[in-house]
Structure 1
Amino acid sequence: MKKILALCVVLSALWGSAAGADTPSQLKFMAGPPGGNWFALGGELADLWSKEVMPTTSVTGGAVANIINAHMRKGDLGFSNTSMIAVAQKGTDLGTFKTKSDNAKLLANLYTQYTYFIARKDFAEKNGIKTVDDLVNKKLAFRFATLKTGTGSEFVVKNVFESGFGIDYRKAFKEWGGTVEYASYSGGADLIADNHLDVFAFSVGKVAAIVMQIESTTDVILLGMSQEALDKVGEAIGTVTFLIDPGIYKSVPAGAEPVKVVGDYTSIVVRGDLDDQVVYDLCKSMYNNVEMLAKGVKDIAELDPKTAVPAKGLESHPGAVKFWNEASGKIQ
């Protein structure tokens, strides 16, 4: 019996040290800029984990910076986008990440992110535009905006055009006689309402208030993409195909065909050398309190053990894999 107990202790120790057995006295959680969902949810998570796991502070951050800082151990974990983590681990976009960030691992996919290409209806009908493919194939002069460089939105939009269609949108659109601007969500909504933009692209949740805001002032259509282009983007940066179902938005009414768009996740990136047991406990605490967290940021209610860590495409932290497999009933 003593030998069995000793063996269990050894195995437990080995499992806990698989990622480097670094157990800090407190954690630094890298959230987002003040005023956004990431900032609010980051504070909620830090408070929760301080009570149930270990002292945790929440600091401002960003999708790209949080991956780099997790890789370099300047922070322990933080919000990002799953597509960004996949690319950073592979080192295939060194213009964005400077170096291969293979110490940055996925802790969990939290909730879905849809990339919307919103076109003014008058512009689309005049030029026969129904999809993003049409925009590229027709090489039109049009006024385009997305969020600023370094955001998850711009990262995905850039890769939609580079991987899906083989163009650098910043150069191509200007060569075709168009313009490129960078705006906030609300700023872009105002620009398209005032007829200063033809197309506005950004990533946000499945049921997006900003899309409804735009629809309340302007007749627009949501541009889908061909499956061929969606597959190319997915192969390059690990995104998937999501459907905008009819009935959610005025521009996709009940009875219309679903609109195919690039799908991604808001996720948590964690440094790979953080202790497995600590990561396991962070996941467990978050999942057990998801209803409470959703009272502040309702999107977190989408957290699902079955999609929290993907089977392939990027590396997840072993402690996270263990917890989410157990929570979803998967056999280890």
Structure 2
Amino acid sequence: MVNLSGRREVLRQYLWSLSIVILAATSWNCGGSSDNGDTAVSRQFLSMGTAPPGGAFFVVGSALAEVINQTGSDLGYNVTAEATSGSQENIRRLASGELEFSLSNAAITYFAVRGGEGWDRAYPVRSVMTLAPNIALFVTLPDSGITTLADMRGHRVTVGPAGAGFEFFVRPLLEAHGITYDDFSPLNATQQGAVDMLTDGSADATFLGGAVPTASITQAAASMDITFLPYGDAEKEALVNEYIFFRPATIPADTYRGQTEPFEGLDVGSMHFITSTDTSDELVYSITKLLYDNRELVIERHAAGRAINPNNVVRDTGTEFHPGAIRFYREIGIWPQ
């Protein structure tokens, strides 16, 4: 004879145990307390825009995301560094709410917040911290016959990825040296793609740059002999006087293979960490504090982390700082009065 009462008892015990498991899971997901009294932390998923792989923005953005995730896990932060086309896309996606933070070139942001130079309106973004100089330059091969920027006339020259916004600093840079895009054949390519084009001869010169050392320049120098095209001293001075985002900058000797002397270049708009005006003060304060307090961890991942220092992070590049960042900088006494 089948023992129905025994089966009913087993089933009753099973259902009772299952209800306890479901109740515990529900309590956990709703922020209930665990046995040791610690309150469960709700995860906060954040997206950070960077740039195409091969450039410094992608590498540095990935480093920032890793450090936030490593040091902010108890706060529930989970940051994903997204590869994008660059600063222009990042600014637009910040404004639309698709990104919480991003990296941008300060020159591009400068025009975006003012609605100038081709932007359809003024974009509501704010700076969180000024990061590494974006030291950019034109690179060519020793046998190209190109020794100055003016020599690029009639040649094929890569000027950055389409839609990335390089023209916001490349155009004034060229115009200061007496040339325009009309004087040569401008080609669009990612930094990695530009190196490939220089290698296979489909480009005669290429515009590369970012935080030093820049991955694309390191790649180019490792695979072939390259030459940096110099900027004129008077032209550099004129650019620095006209635009707040241009600054003299030096690439130390031996940064790249074959570079035996320092190169006197230009910061064509520092990399900076930005967010939307709608981002909460508390979130910006917390992220700013995490990165500043753990800047040594950023340095371990990329030399650009050295730019997270008291003098540089608050440097004005023409974009207002977010109130949450200002609050932190005031607390530690580095905000300029």
TM range (shorter): 0.7 to 0.9
Q: Say whether residues 1:292 and 2:297 are aligned partners.
A: yes
Q: Say whether residues 1:37 and 2:59 are aligned partners.
A: yes
Q: Distance in 2 between matches of 1:219 and 1:209?
A: 16
Q: Distance in 1 between matches of 2:296 and 2:302?
A: 10
Q: Distance in 2 between matches of 1:119 and 1:200?
A: 7
Larger radius of gyration: 2
RMSD of Structure 2 on Structure 1 (CA) = 3.1
The 1:252–1:42 alpha-carbon spacing in structure 2 relative to 1, beyond 3 Å, is closer
Q: Distance in 2 between matches of 1:69 and 1:186?
A: 24
Q: Give the structure 2 partner of residue 77 of structure 1.
A: 101
**Letter of the 1:161 counterpart:** L
What per-residue deviation string (whole Å, max 9, x for no partner) do you get for residues 165-213 of structure 1? 57541x331xxxxx33222333322332333322111222222343233
Q: Distance in 1 between matches of 2:263 and 2:51?
A: 33
Query: Structure 2 length as normaliser, TM-score?
Result: 0.73
Q: Give the structure 1 partner of residue 278 of structure 2.
A: 273
SS in 2 for 1:112: coil
| Aligned length in residues | 289
| CA shift for structure 1 position 64 | 1.2
Q: Give the structure 2 partner of residue 305 of structure 1.
A: 310
What per-residue deviation string (whole Å, max 9, x for no partner) do you get for residues 257-287 of structure 1? 6423344322211112333333222111111
| CA shift for structure 1 position 142 | 1.5
Q: Say whether residues 1:135 and 2:151 are aligned partners.
A: yes
Q: Give the structure 1 partner of residue 328 of structure 2.
A: 323
Give yes or no for contact 1:153–1:202 (8 Å, CA) kept in 2: no
* Aligned-pair identity (%): 20
Q: Which runs of 5+ in 1 are unaligned?
A: 1-24, 174-178
| CA shift for structure 1 position 290 | 2.0
Query: Structure 1 length as normaliser, TM-score?
Result: 0.73
Q: Distance in 1 between matches of 2:272 and 2:187?
A: 27
The 1:192–1:315 alpha-carbon spacing in structure 2 relative to 1, beyond 3 Å, is same
Q: Distance in 2 between matches of 1:105 and 1:262?
A: 20
Q: Give the structure 1 partner of residue 139 of structure 2.
A: 118
| CA shift for structure 1 position 50 | 4.9
What per-residue deviation string (whole Å, max 9, x for no partner) do you get for residues 285-305 of structure 1? 111122223444443243222
Please identify, of 231-240 and 265-274, the stretch whose mean Cα deviation from structure 2 is larger: 231-240
Please identify, of 244-253 and 220-229, the stretch whose mean Cα deviation from structure 2 is larger: 244-253
Q: Which runs of 5+ in 2 are unaligned?
A: 1-42
Q: Distance in 2 between matches of 1:55 and 1:249?
A: 36
| CA shift for structure 1 position 48 | 4.4
Higher helix share: 1
Q: Distance in 2 between matches of 1:155 and 1:312?
A: 14
SS in 1 for 2:62: helix
